[in-house]
Chains A and B, each alone.
Chain A
């Protein structure tokens, strides 16, 4: 029962990470290449959504619209609230990575006749992904756990199920929550392992990564 509910957390995790990745990339690119106006807007976005507590965002996205008769399903509200929040954090990881790439890379790409967009897609992003992975792995560990916050908007995720179990069998409280804890240990561990595998996989021969875990 707990394991089945965990699937909801995993679905939410993938949905919010995907949304965060998409928005985060756009925000980071705007912040670095968007010029003054778009850059300030992007920086403001990142600041706002990193400053508001996750619970407040969840309540805002779930109860806010329903006040005006727009009912958003808990899963969607949680994906939006946590995904947008994660995009703010992810954008800063990507921005740091993009800025860590030498400006010469962009200059070399432009000097051979690539447009700025071509240079971003073929030269900057592939390098930024590699530089982002360590920081992204950190963000991953943090949002895995954040999925349990969706409890407060009534999503039938693992923590809510644990609560239901405990309400019926109080004698199982310790065991139930320990089980939940173990589930998250496993989730975080396997996620981080996959990411560090990816990091090793993508490592550029001969190049020391500026950030990230070294196997030296």
Chain B
């Protein structure tokens, strides 16, 4: 059974059909990279998975439990899906440590001391154990994004959704975030990543999905997608994006 299954996801904003029937399956331990032009609905799709944006039609299962079921405990299910935002969204009034531990305390009901220890461990994992007392506004973008990854990791999620995690970063800060993500992929974390970083996709993706105009145009292994795309648009897009962004990882 796949860890994540999305079936025929539809979403429209007013008259605009952003998603027109997206279906995907993700196995445990797999890293899937979603690429595609902006405005294609990639971010909307990620938000449809954890119901931050409930889809109009279609169903989503996490580890066999239907996330789109009206009677499911959505808060409990969300706690099992980490979400890393493009613009970090760290809680600006909490220091680094509290940003990572607050979910453990408030959502998982963990004791403060235990939460602190676990948060320290996760901050160490992203190389920020020397910044525990700093507030988000005192950190660089790359550091903020690493804290937000630690915040997601601390909840011990079944998978993490990444919504363009490096798009808001200065070029010289992208590497440190990608490095953390590559290590996660190697450690066997299940990840669904929307990104333009082709180097990352090449290095760790088990599967690449090319999305355009709210549908999946093509999906396959990185080797196949980069060397022998079946659909002409896939090749065109990959060439353009590699030219634009290079391969940082």
Contact = CB atoms under 8 A, between A and B. Distances in A.
Interface in B146-202: 148, 151-152, 155
Contacts of A118: 106-107
Given A113-B79, A114-B75, A127-B92, A204 B151 contact: no
Interface stretch (A82-90, A102-110, A176-184, A187-195): A102-110
A215 interface: no
B93 A130 contact: yes
Nearest to A116: B75
B52 interface: yes
B91 A207 contact: no
A115 B79 CA distance: 11
A120 B206 CA distance: 39
Nearest to A122: B106
A53 interface: no
Interface residues of A, number: 23
A194 B220 CA distance: 63
Contacts of A110: 52, 78
Contact of B83 (A111, A115, A123, A205): A111
B50 interface: yes
B130 to A, nearest CB: 16
B107 A113 contact: yes
A130 B137 CA distance: 15
Interface residues of B, number: 31
Contacts of A208: 137
Contacts of A52: none
B76 interface: yes
Interface string B83-99: 10101011111000000
B87 A112 contact: no
B137 A112 contact: no
The 4 closest A-B pairs by CB, nearest first: A113-B79, A206-B137, A206-B138, A104-B89
Interface of B: 50, 52, 75-83, 85, 87, 89-93, 102-103, 106-107, 134-138, 148, 151-152, 155
22 contacts: A102-B89, A104-B89, A107-B85, A110-B52, A110-B78, A111-B78, A112-B79, A112-B107, A112-B151, A113-B78, A113-B103, A113-B155, A114-B103, A115-B75, A118-B107, A122-B102, A122-B106, A123-B93, A206-B135, A206-B136, A207-B137, A208-B137
